Amino acid sequence: MFETLKNAWKITELRKKIIYTLGMLLLYRLLCCIPTPGVDPTVIQNAIDNYSLLGFINSMTGSTLSNYSIMAMGITPYINASIIMQLLCVAIPKLEEMQKEGEEGRKKIAQITRYVTVGLGFIQAIAITYGLKANTTNGFLGLLTIGFCLAAGTALAMWMGERITENGIGNGISLLIFAGIISNLAHSVGTTIYNMFAAPAAVNYAAVIASLFVFALLIVGIVLVDLAERRIPIQYAKRMVGRRMYGGQSTHIPLKLNSSGVLPLIFASAIMQFPGTILQILFPNSAANNWWQANVNSTSGWYMIVFALMIFGFTFFYSEISFNPVEISKNIQSNGGMIPGIRQGKPTSDFIKKISNRITTFGAIYLAVLAIIPMIIYAIAGVSLPFAASSLLIAVSVAMETMRELESQMLMRHYKGFLN
């Protein structure tokens, strides 16, 4: 990795892209320190400490929610808007047609996604501020001001992510999330190192060593699964076009073992934490809330089982809406291709579907194990890891994706220089 960065730095164009990316990420983190007017950050911090759902959102936004800066909503509304539009493209025929129109259709959907992002950011900001009673102005106009400030922060974060994608290295939106996660992890590491020197007697060295071991083990597992893929071979028939012979080559369809990414983890975590948060906010002294807090927590066996089942469900759900074996089969047949030993048409789509189900099952097991390992360690040894499974998965996946893009751009420039 370091050799790749060193070689990329020698190329002027790539060096400019790296500097641009780092500059935008630094600017984003600086904007995360600008407070929102009319908000009591103490109320927000206490709510994050008490409500697990807000704590989960805070970890995904790089702790911007805890200080309620203008970037408090982060890029979360954009992620939600993208998921909503993806689901609507399956449910609404007009949007599905627009999606198949090529580049122009994708541009229209991207524009709609931007509007939905700003609207969601505005609604979420007002809902959180009003629900937690953190508005110090105690007025409707003050609440609107807070909503507009945070919606503007979301729009600015979205714009910065798009600029990084266009002028920098890697996917800008993913890198903004990556920057927030790394800042949280760096803060935890820095605090631990400081305590080792300032108060060595208070540091649990066994917990630190266990955390480092599990951290390294999870990273190795994430890297191996991220690089793994199942290749379905495709053979294209030869055909004559004029006096030229086309086709006849062999290729493959690469299917990633974890094609759904981190979305099932995020959905399952949010839903599992949602009922407890609602009970704490609306019925803090009720018997239902007391029972939930006592019995439904991350150290409970039932919690882990339900959590794993929800990850399974969301993994298969996402696979169903994002992967269409029938369409892939039609595209293969229309281009004169076939899977060796499998007839064209329905047998091909059935074969691809069977392979997809097997891979999805493996991906669901992988995500469930990844999510439950920190819970099991905490339940058995009482060691709380300074990172969540979803955060670690995002951080490692984004880092690998960025390095792959950097290597591909270096390879492209190497061939370009060779040909010239």
pLDDT tens digits in sequence order for the chain, 420 residues long: 667 777 777 778 888 888 999 999 999 888 888 888 888 878 887 877 777 667 767 776 667 777 788 888 888 888 878 878 877 877 788 887 887 777 788 888 888 889 999 998 898 888 888 877 778 877 788 888 888 999 999 999 999 988 998 888 888 888 888 888 888 777 777 777 777 777 777 667 777 777 778 888 888 888 888 888 888 888 877 665 666 665 567 788 888 888 777 778 777 877 777 777 777 767 777 787 777 777 777 677 788 888 888 888 888 888 887 788 888 888 888 877 888 888 888 888 888 899 988 898 988 888 888 888 877 777 776 666 666 677 788 888 888 888 888 888 777 765 444 344
Q: In this structure, what are the phi and psi dihedrals at residue 253, rounded to the nearest 5 degrees? A: -105, 115
161 and 210 belong to one structural domain: no
63 and 116 belong to one structural domain: yes
259 and 372 belong to one structural domain: yes
119 and 221 belong to one structural domain: no
Contacts of 185 (CB under 8 A, 6+ apart): 386, 387, 391, 395
pTM of structure: 0.78
164 and 67 belong to one structural domain: yes
Three-state SS across 154-172? Answer: HHHHHHHHHHHHHHCCCCH
Q: Which two tokens stand for residue 122?
A: 């505005």
236 and 377 belong to one structural domain: yes
Helix 52-60 to helix 263-282 angle (10° resolution) is: 140
Please choose, from the candidates 128, 58, 113, the residue with its C-alpha nearest in 3D space to the C-alpha of residue 388: 58
Q: What residue numbers bound the domain in which 35 lies?
A: 1-181
In 228-286, where does DSSP find H-type helix? 263-282
CB atoms closer than 10 angstroms to residue 21: 20
139 and 227 belong to one structural domain: no
275 and 352 belong to one structural domain: yes
Residue type, 28: Y
What is the number of domains present in the chain? 2
Would you give the DSSP letter of residue 261?
T
What's the angle, vertex CA 334, arms to CA 329 and CA 337, rounded to 5?
Answer: 70
Residue 186 lies in a domain: no
The domain spanning residue 15 has which CATH number?
A: 1.10.3370.10
Residue 291 vs residues 32, 268, 276, 288, 376: alpha-carbon distances, Å: 37, 21, 10, 5, 22
> Residue 259 in contact with residue 359, Cβ under 8 Å?
yes
Secondary structure element (H or E) that encloses residue 235, with its range = strand 229-236
219 and 294 belong to one structural domain: yes
In 228-300, where does DSSP find H-type helix? 263-282, 287-295
Please choose, from the candidates 355, 346, 403, the residue with its C-alpha nearest in 3D space to the C-alpha of residue 252: 355
Residue type, 277: T
Residue in the block written with tokens 């030869």: 238
Please choose, from the candidates 367, 272, 252, the residue with its C-alpha nearest in 3D space to the C-alpha of residue 319: 367
151 and 10 belong to one structural domain: yes
Q: How far apart are CA 175 and CA 182, in angstroms?
A: 10
Q: Which two tokens stand for residue 402?
A: 């960025």
